[in-house]
């Protein structure tokens, strides 16, 4: 099935460029789009040993949305702060965005919860 790298700044731009995509993930330099969720999972399993750290954000329904893969936990936390500064994902009633960080993406679990206050950038 089809997959495509899109050089753009937001997920919305990637969605507009790839309306056929079942899965869209932030990667270095833009977004990667997949028509098949199965093809995306193959990519995740193949790329996990190199990337190692997965970052996701909790949406308004409590589900995790994958944002991308990073080489270190600190890089994932820095990215979380950047996403919070842009305010482009769900912000809870307390002005906080909640992120999940996994050092074992194949597990499907986010072992670390990382919260960022959107206004101040304070993180815990």
Same domain? For 40 and 66 the reply is: no
Average of pLDDT values for 7-21? 92
Choice among 6-10, 15-19, 30-34, 61-65 with the minimum mean pLDDT = 61-65
Looking at the structure of the chain, the number of domains it has is: 2
User: What's residue 45's pLDDT?
Assistant: 67
User: What's residue 59's pLDDT?
Assistant: 85
Average of pLDDT values for 87-98? 88
Q: What is the pLDDT of residues 25-72, one digit of tens each?
A: 888 888 999 998 888 877 776 655 455 788 999 888 888 888 888 888
Average of pLDDT values for 74-84? 88
pLDDT band at 18 (very low <50, low <70, confident <90, very high): very high
**What are the counts of helices (DSSP H) followed by strands (DSSP E) for the chain?**
3, 7
Three-class secondary structure of residue 60 per DSSP: coil
- Would residue 99 be called left, alpha or beta, if left means φ above 0 and alpha means ψ between -120 and 50 degrees? beta
Instruction: Output the average pLDDT for the chain.
Output: 85
Half-sphere exposure of 93 (CA within 13 A, CB side): 0
Same domain? For 121 and 74 the reply is: yes
CA distance 68 to 101: 10
pTM of the model: 0.58
Q: Over pLDDT 70: what percentage of the chain?
A: 94
- Determine how many CB atoms are found less than 10 A away from the CB of residue 17: 17
Same domain? For 92 and 109 the reply is: yes
For residue 16, give its domain range. 1-48
Average of pLDDT values for 17-30? 89
Same domain? For 38 and 71 the reply is: no
């Amino acid at each position: 099935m089809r997959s495509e790298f899109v050089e753009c700044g937001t997920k919305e731009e990637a969605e507009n460029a790839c309306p056929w995509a079942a899965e869209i993930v932030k990667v270095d330099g833009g977004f990667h789009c997949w028509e098949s969720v199965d093809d995306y999972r193959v990519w995740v399993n193949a790329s996990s040993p190199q990337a190692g750290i997965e970052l996701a954000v909790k949406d308004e329904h409590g589900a995790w949305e994958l944002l991308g893969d990073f080489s270190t936990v600190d890089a994932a936390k820095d990215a979380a702060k950047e996403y919070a500064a842009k305010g482009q994902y769900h912000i809870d009633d307390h002005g906080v965005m909640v992120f999940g960080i996994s050092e074992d993406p194949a597990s499907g679990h986010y072992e670390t919860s990382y919260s960022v206050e959107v206004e101040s950038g304070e993180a815990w």
